[in-house]
Structure 1
Amino acid sequence: MSGLLALLDDVAAIAKTAAASVDDVATMAAKAGSKTAGIIIDDAAVTPKYVAGLDASRELPIIWKITRASLFNKLVILLPIALLLNAFAPWMIAYLLMLGGAYLCFEGAEKVYHVLVPHPHEKVEADLDVGNPAQLEETRVKGAIKTDFILSAEIMTITLSAIPAANFWFESATLAVVAVAVTLVVYGSVALIVKMDDLGLWLVARQGSETSQAFGRGLVKGMPYLMKALSIIGMAAMLWVGGNIILHGLEVTHIWAAPYEVIHGFAKDIAGGNGFLEWAVTAFLDGIAGLLIGLALIPLATRIFAPLWGKLGLA
């Protein structure tokens, strides 16, 4: 009897340890995932454009295709690469983060540049020509998956850098939880966004109560404004996150610590102990830095890298 009690006690201890480990993974996944907020917002803001101009019945299937590819990118390709880098070349993580931050700065600054200096873009004009719907859908999905891979790489790298040194299984589980959660949040939100106007039209057409019809009309009229707001928020998030990543990376790699230290010192002086104000000032200045970095990268990317990618068939 005493042996059975001892066995039950051991089982209970193992169960408690397992439960604590699961709780630790969930807690760390939530903390690490919060670091990727800017990229998540931008991803959710960018993705709806890939179903624009296509038949409404194809919107959800297209989003599901991108979702499956995104999970594959994160779990099958990027997660093992991230773990290998962390195990054998952890010094590379800061530089990869800065490379991803530069991409975010470039993307955000290019959007600002297009607003300030409107001009036609050959790829954009071609994308507006629906032509063959099946071919367009295939092209759109490929473009979305390519963009998702870059953003997913940044998300996984940021997550890995936010996880304290731990064992292989803890890091793997945390990365996997963040990968799945972020993907479901992003593409679940996208699915809701692209179907909001359809829901509004359905509420208007069903001839229900005046309240439901008014709500439906509000959805239809409000969606363009929501998409515009998401685009602006995503652009600002890219500049803020990208600028912060680069400045912090320059500081931790001891390449050039001054910008990071000056911004944080200035924010503390302005805030006077107010945590939110300190964050807001820091984020604003990081965004300005990100915009300047991105604007400097535009000629480099458009005149050197874009033609090179085209020759290699990667564009």
Structure 2
Amino acid sequence: MAGGLVALLDDIAAIAKLAAASLDDVAAASAKAGSKAVGVVIDDTAVTPRYVTGLSPARELPIIWKIALGSLRNKLLFLLPAALLLSAFAPWAITPILMMGGAYLCFEASEKILEAFTGGHHDEAAAEITDPKQLEDRQVSGAIRTDLILSGEIMAIALAELADQSLVNQAIALALVGVAITVGVYGVVALIVKMDDIGLALAQREGAGAQAFGRGLVSAMPVILKALGIIGTVAMLWVGGQIIVHGLEHFHLTPLPEWIHHASLGARETLPAIGPVAEWVVYAALSAVVGIVIGGVIVGLLHFKPKKH
């Protein structure tokens, strides 16, 4: 998926060059900035399918479309102007805002883990919703809210790669990155959630091979969607944890970031055959541990504080 997104950004760059030579720098910057954000894009793709799990199959694509539009609105109407304004007038505020967003992701993931172990629901009013439209609206709003945090990280990473560009070029490049990544993410999400329909279509075709593959796909999809739900929760933890760790490093609170960095480099040196993968896995795992600690503290403060009589 990462390669497909980078290729998509490269296509956008090519179109920009044909349209006007003056946009060469913007196109190149867009491709560079987009490729740097691919790691968060993968997390975004893993998180989103859980918001359509359990809803009517007929509503899956319309729901994804609503979330995709909300994601574009997040990026183009809110995050892009905010990023440019903060970059120009209050660059010191970007990291604290990202850290608050990271803490929210950790909180959301920790809530999901608490629910899995207790069988409860942190939002009792939402748990009692029986009207399909209200449930759909709640799922869409929750997905767009989570997307806002992940998109904020994507735009911040992209903006960091555009520091040498003019304000106009930054705006154009961020818009290109936002559109391309949204199309890539939600195109893949739509494909994932409709794989069972693809399996049914294959099962009805002539040919034993196609039928067997189609039936296998249909049987596997509940397991795949459940696994994606787990991956999505873990992704929220490691992305949120990474944001916190990077923020601590930015403010020169380095003991924890340095320990995580050294541990991940140690994994790379210990397993040279899969060095980059080992480094990423250890860094992500330790960031997730930071995320569960931060999220657990917030959940504890909100759920177990003394009630007023």
Q: TM-score surpassing 0.5?
A: yes
Provide the rounded CA distance (Å) in 1 between the counterparts of 2:30 and 2:91. 23
State the shift of 1:301 in Å.
4.1
Matched, 1:242 2:240: yes
Sequence identity of aligned pairs in percent? Answer: 44
Provide the rounded CA distance (Å) in 1 between the counterparts of 2:284 and 2:185. 23
* Counterpart residue number, 1:75: 76
* Counterpart residue number, 1:310: none
What's the CA shift string for 1:111-155, capped at 9, x where partnerless?
Answer: 33334x2322164795586x4434443444334333333433333
Matched, 1:60 2:61: yes
Task: Give SS of 2:31's match.
Answer: helix
Using a 3 Å threshold, how does the CA distance of structure 1 residues 138 and 262 change in structure 2: closer, same or farther?
A: closer
* Counterpart residue number, 2:206: 208
Provide the rounded CA distance (Å) in 2 between the counterparts of 1:58 and 1:16. 41
What RMSD over aligned residues (CA atoms) do the two structures have, in Å? 3.0
* Counterpart residue number, 1:119: 119
Provide the rounded CA distance (Å) in 2 between the counterparts of 1:47 and 1:187. 12
Using a 3 Å threshold, how does the CA distance of structure 1 residues 158 and 124 change in structure 2: closer, same or farther?
A: farther
Task: Give SS of 1:164's match.
Answer: coil
State the shift of 1:15 in Å.
8.4
Provide the rounded CA distance (Å) in 2 between the counterparts of 1:85 and 1:53. 39
Using a 3 Å threshold, how does the CA distance of structure 1 residues 45 and 135 change in structure 2: closer, same or farther?
A: closer
| Letter matched to residue 147 of structure 1 | T
* Counterpart residue number, 1:313: none
Between the two proteins, the alignment pairs up a number of residues equal to 286
Map 1:1-315 to 2 at 5 A: 17-18=21-22, 20-37=24-41, 39-49=43-53, 52-54=54-56, 56-115=57-116, 117-121=117-121, 123=123, 126-127=126-127, 131-204=130-203, 206-254=204-252, 256-272=253-269, 274=272, 275-276=275-276, 277-302=278-303
State the shift of 1:178 in Å.
2.1
5+ unaligned residues in a row in structure 1: which ranges? 1-12, 308-315
Task: Give SS of 1:36's match.
Answer: helix
TM-score (norm 2): 0.80
What's the CA shift string for 1:163-200, capped at 9, x where partnerless?
Answer: 43421123212211221122112221222122211222
TM-score (norm 1): 0.78
| Letter matched to residue 220 of structure 2 | G
5+ unaligned residues in a row in structure 2: which ranges? 1-16
State the shift of 1:104 in Å.
2.0
